[in-house]
Amino acid sequence: MEIALAATRTGNNEAAAKERAEREAQRQLLATEELVYTERNYLRLLQVCTCTIRSNLQKLQPPLPNLDSMFLYIEEVIDVSGRLLSLLDQKQVTPHDPLFLETLCDAFLSLSTDIESAYKEYLANYNNVTALESSYKQKEPLWTEMVKVIKSSAPEVNATSLSFFLVMPVQRIARYPLLLQTIMKHTDPGHPAYSLLEQTAHTSIALNCRINEYKRFREVADKYTKTETLTIRDKINRLNSHSIAKKTARLSQFIKHETGIAPKLVDEEFDALEGFFYLLENGIAVLHENVETYLSHLQRFLSCRPEEFDLDMDGEKPAICYKEITTALRQWILPTFEKRMRTLVHKPLCALRELLVGPRNLIRKRLDKLLDYELIEEKPSLSYDEQAVANTYKTINTLLLNELPQFNGLALTLLWGMLGAFSCLHKDLAADMEQLFQGFAQQLPHSSLEPNAFWEWAECSVLEGARMLESLCRNVEDQLNAPIVQPLSPGSQKCLKVLTDKHGSGKIYQLTGHVVGTRDLDLSLNRGELVAIISEMDTRGDRRRWLVDAGGPRGYVPSSKLVRYHQVTMDPPPSPHLTVTTMDCAGGVRRHSYTPDPVRTVSMTMSCFQVFAGYDFTARSSHEVSLRAGEPIRVLEPHDKRGSRDWSLVEVRGQRGYVPSNYLAVVPTSTTPYH
């Protein structure tokens, strides 16, 4: 009897276990089918949104502003979802097949990197999507038309806004872990694909965590990379006790770093990235300035049209050919070249320069947050606000370490691309000019020469012209031993004005050579750049390193690389521009005109006025002579060999040379006129 009861009980348990296993298998099948079915439906709705609804919205008049921004990165999401379903369909297995679970896990794991890449960018941009849709809703007639288009394009879902579709990727990526965990919950641990399913579920959870972390990083970056144009009043209105205390603490910490009182947190990896970014930014700024100057000179060249004037050269066949060539250059070849230059080089360069603003602001904000973080780093416990400060600094620092190398690399690639385009444009220009000249080759002199002889003659002519030009320049340099004042570029003029207004003209110095920073707070500057001296020593009293203001960044440069910049003004202060009359040895009269205004000429004898050096001046070349303030000067000529009155030829201490005219002062010694 007991044996019969035990057998019955065992049979019941086996039946219950079998029934339980069947229920679990059925639930597993339902969860698997739900994942696949919802994925197909999700993909279909996204395709309806991006194809049908988007194309119908683009037909609205007037066109919707920034409509394409609503669909940023959604194509990548559609692509990765389609690839996931394609991998399942390729195996030709159904959810009822025992191998389907393994196929599903393999497909998800193989695409996990692509899924993360597509969804993290979409989710990071989703806040912009909602903000743009809110701006549409504020225009009621426009929003009414949009709702009509959405309803007519997808009547089966009864959607009333774009966010009905655009929020689906946000929901879908979070649903993958739930669906996979549900399948795993109803899968027997002894199932062959259980370990693979468990790995897939953990991967989906980790994937969501990384996407959320990236989204948080982007939100912090977007917050601090925004540029605001605030007036002084706006800035004052933003001041409160909290902000004043925070800025005061930062300034105090910064001073402690500079004076060596408190150590500074050093991150060599970030410092290298920051240095390369500023080097890249400086290179882009210089290239942008040079391209704008180049285009400005090209426009000025095109504005001169000598070929439009009748030079009375009828019958002069070569001259007529040259005129036709010049006309073609100015009316067709060079304008086309200029247009392509602006499209392929100048506009991308301007866009790249604007892209630098965000990383630059983020780097500056990192320094502020670093100073805040250092103040609380040593505390054993942090308050809620202090923990937020620490998290913000770590977030910005991690974001910069992860993305600044990519930005630097892409910016450098774009820069090389622009330089390559610049080179190709000039190659095309040379080809167009060669083609143009070939059309006139038979009408020009030397057209009867053989090709090899012609090119030999052309090469010899060019080389001879270059030699003559070089000889002329050398002769001019040897004979006109006057200092040459190079005009400042527009950017340098702006920098000079800012530095002069802030520090005064007496503090302006110029670099005599390139400087590459090798120590903390050192600057990397190019030869000829202007700086203002803040201190003639560093914080340790070393006078070989001077603290300078480079028109923005401040730091140290070697004092041996600096010389005082002597600005030549258009209206110099009173200088010894007098008409001096002396008698030469033959009894004749020798006159040196020192008068800037020929109408008002004052004739004085040398005994009535004495010229002195008004300021110290250090000679920068063999053509100049040094002055010491207060020493008597003999003026030989009030201008240089080119007639410029900005420089005067003087004799002092038995040496002759040029000095700036506005460094000289005239002191009357007698009022007796010369008769």
Condensed to tens digits (0 to 9), the pLDDT of residues 200-232 reads 999 999 999 999 988 888 887 777 766 666 677
Angle made by CA atoms 412, 291, 431, in degrees to the nearest 5:
95
Comparing 64-73, 379-388, 450-459, 561-570, which segment has the lowest mean pLDDT?
A: 561-570
Within-domain flag for 190: yes
Instruction: Identify which of 295-304, 441-450, 575-584 has the greatest average pLDDT.
Output: 295-304
Comparing 279-288, 307-316, 325-334, which segment has the lowest mean pLDDT?
A: 307-316
Q: Are residues 78 and 158 in the same domain?
A: yes
Q: Are residues 33 and 154 in the same domain?
A: yes
Task: Please report the pLDDT score of residue 229 as a whole number.
Answer: 67
Confidence of residue 598 (pLDDT cuts 50, 70, 90): very low
- The most distant pair of C-alpha atoms in the chain lies apart, rounded to whole Å, by 160
Residues in CB range of 120: below 8 A, 6 or more apart: 210, 211, 214, 215
Q: Are residues 644 and 559 in the same domain?
A: no
Residue pair 608/674 in contact (Cβ under 8 Å)? The answer is yes
Q: Are residues 43 and 173 in the same domain?
A: yes
Q: Are residues 276 and 218 in the same domain?
A: no
Q: Summarize the confidence of residues 413-437 as an average pLDDT.
A: 90
Pairwise pLDDT comparison (316 vs 450), residue with the higher score: 450
Q: Are residues 346 and 453 in the same domain?
A: no
Q: Is the peptide bond before 638 cis (omega within 30 degrees of 0)?
A: no
For 553, the domain range is 490-564
CATH number of the domain to which 1 belongs? 1.20.900.10
Q: Are residues 37 and 10 in the same domain?
A: yes
Q: Are residues 422 and 468 in the same domain?
A: no
* Nearest-angstrom CA–CA distance, 659 and 627: 8
In the predicted structure, residue 585 carries a pLDDT above the cut 50 = no
Q: Are residues 268 and 405 in the same domain?
A: yes
Number of compact structural domains in the chain: 5
- How is residue 442 annotated by DSSP? G
Task: Please report the pLDDT score of residue 60 as a whole number.
Answer: 87
Q: Summarize the confidence of residues 306-316 as an average pLDDT.
A: 63
In the predicted structure, residue 17 carries a pLDDT above the cut 60 = yes
Q: Which of left, alpha, beta for 568 (phi over 0: left; psi -120 to 50: alpha)?
A: beta
Task: Please report the pLDDT score of residue 402 as a whole number.
Answer: 86
Q: Summarize the confidence of residues 186-196 as an average pLDDT.
A: 85
Q: Which two tokens stand for residue 117?
A: 């890449």
Q: Are residues 3 and 107 in the same domain?
A: yes
Q: Summarize the confidence of residues 474-482 as an average pLDDT.
A: 60
Task: Please report the pLDDT score of residue 394 as a whole number.
Answer: 85
Within-domain flag for 408: yes
Question: pLDDT by residue (tens digit) across 605-618?
Answer: 444 567 888 888 88
Within-domain flag for 576: no
Last residue of a domain, one of 379, 412, 440: 440
Comparing 53-62, 382-391, 588-597, which segment has the lowest mean pLDDT?
A: 588-597
